[in-house]
Structure 1
Amino acid sequence: ATFGLSYTAFSEWFNTTVRAVWTYSEWMPVTPAGKSFDATCSQCHALPDPGQHTANEWSGVVGRMTQNMK
């Protein structure tokens, strides 16, 4: 649990401060996927760069994150 919390804090800081690839904005599009991310995923981490994984890898990543939410 400590690792998860540390990773989440680091990920949020790294993506918003160092990489400057993510900022929260009122202008963010509201889509079904965006609503889902906001309701679940954003409670633990910022939106990751889609280029971090291939399309095939994302399926596994999302599956692992789904298990983490349980």
Structure 2
Amino acid sequence: PIAIEAAKTFLDQPLKQPLIILATADEESSMSGARALASTGKPKARYAVIGEPTGMKPIYMHKGMMMESVKIEGKAG
């Protein structure tokens, strides 16, 4: 729905270039959808709409994600 709302801006004007609506998957953990898209180098975009912005407020960047792991070894006492 948010992509359709964003596209409504262009209803009354002819497009000079194609309007591409793209959705990616698995962005909460591996970001495999975005990685696959980036590896192809296409499509290039001037703007992007993030469907789940931080704090539900429109923003110009996304916070991203970082994962760490800790391995603990010990002996029973």
Q: Could you state the TM-score of these two structures normalised by the residue count of structure 2?
A: 0.23
Structure (1/2) with the larger helix percentage: 1
Identify the structure with bigger relative contact order (alpha carbons < 8 Å, sequence gap 6+): 1
Q: Which has the larger radius of gyration?
A: 2
Scaled by the length of structure 1, the TM-score of the pair is: 0.24
